[in-house]
Amino acid sequence: MLLPLVLSLPALAAALPSQLQSRQDNVHHIPLARRTIHRRGGFVDLDRIAKSAETIKYKYGLMSSEGIGRRASEATISVINQGGDTSYLASVNVGTPSQTLDVVLDTGSSDLWFATTACTNCPANTPEFDTSKSSTLNTSSQPIKLSYGSGNANGNLLQDTVTLGPYTISNQIFTGVTTLSDGLIDGSLAGILGLAFDSLAVSGATPFWQALVNAGELSSPEMSFYLTRFLETATSTTETDPGGTFTLGGTNSSFFKGDIQFNNIPSGFQASFWLQTVSGLTVNGNSVDIGSDADNIAAIDTGTTLLGGPTAAVTAFWEQVDGAQQLNGQNTGFWAFPCSTNVSSTLAFGGTAWPISSEDMNLGQIAQGFCMGALFDVTQGAAYVPFLFRSPSWIVGDTFLKNVYTVFRAGDTPAVGFAELAVGSSGTFTLLSLGFGLLPALRCLRCLASCSSHTR
């Protein structure tokens, strides 16, 4: 059971209705920075790609983690491999006086997580939240263990003022991490900000974005992404680049043209991940048999670089690409194809087919003349484990999302919309920095869940 916060729960409940600072500007465009995929001598780092795929499987309940318990103080959770996956970074301010920390924005998770100065083994140069310097911090002695695909993060629940762009929540619940397994983060990021629904929140807390929606702080219950593409060269050493724009409270019409094609979350699914139904797939002008709608539930995940799909569809896709070959070993589920081959593809939602750039379908060279494809079999080698929510069979990450303008709409009928990018809204774009990244699998810590129901 969760131990009491320093601020008693009744007092906290009374304080929460006024926790949001009102803004006159309730549509805000936040620039993003983008971390790049690094290669070894011009070749794809296969170890990092394998870890990225493993992370996705843990994230969506397709693989169990050894030794993960089911106590209320533990939660199965996965984090983006910052060294291998591309991440879109944002700056948030935490505490009083505020401390600026870079996090990853992830529509595939719901929790907020920061490394703290109490972390005994965080990588060198990790930005950390100094809990001793915040006069508004509320603490809990309840230990939290987050089990990741590639290790663990341990810490405690904390509560403090958090600001993103112009928006502030004065009693945001998050996890302050004190120990990390080697390799979970590379030292340049402080944590993760989840943008999925509260039903996924390990802490039971209302996610930052959802708190703003519930309080009527946004002009529209929407958040939108324009993500840029970075084409790394063999000699590139750049860690971050301009990443695009994240908009809270609406859309940014300068980045798209035409109508936004919205599709509701599939019938029978509660608001958890941002789910859609894949309605079609093509490669080089040929249709790929993907089966029925029931087999094609997709999570739209800004915190994932890759595009994952079910075995039959992925196999049928690559079998139509001349010279494509299945990989094995740690990269089982991936395919390689001749680098000279242009893989032209589309992915459809609600009957509308959206082209995927051949640049995005190509992760890079893995051997002389052969490149790795970004579409992989997410179920290959996976062993389904009990999960609070039905696991999606498609994981639609930035391989696809860089090719469209994406809108996540909450409200009584949650939906995801895509629009065609405006001319010039691809490649590079210069702005500031924001972010996303992490993911939960079990909703625990119900004590704060009941408390958070009074927050807005």
Q: What amino acid positions are annotated as catalytic residues?
A: 106, 301
What is the amino acid identity at position 222? E
Q: Which two tokens stand for residue 146?
A: 């987050």
In DSSP notation, 397-423 reads -HHHHTTSEEEEE-SSS-EEEEEEEPT
List the one residue out of 240, 219, 212, 220 whose CA is nearest residue 228.
240
**Residue environment code for 57-72, b if the CB has 16+ CB neighbours within 10 A, otherwise e:** bbbbbbbbbeebeeee
The strand pair at 256-264 and 43-44 is best described as unpaired
Cα 170 to Cα 156: distance, rounded to the nearest angstrom: 18
**Phi, psi angles (nearest 5°) of residue 365:** -75, 135
d(CA 159, CA 23): 22
Cα–Cα distance measured from residue 86 to residue 240, given in angstroms and rounded to the nearest whole number: 9
Strands 138-148 vs 87-94: parallel, antiparallel or unpaired: unpaired
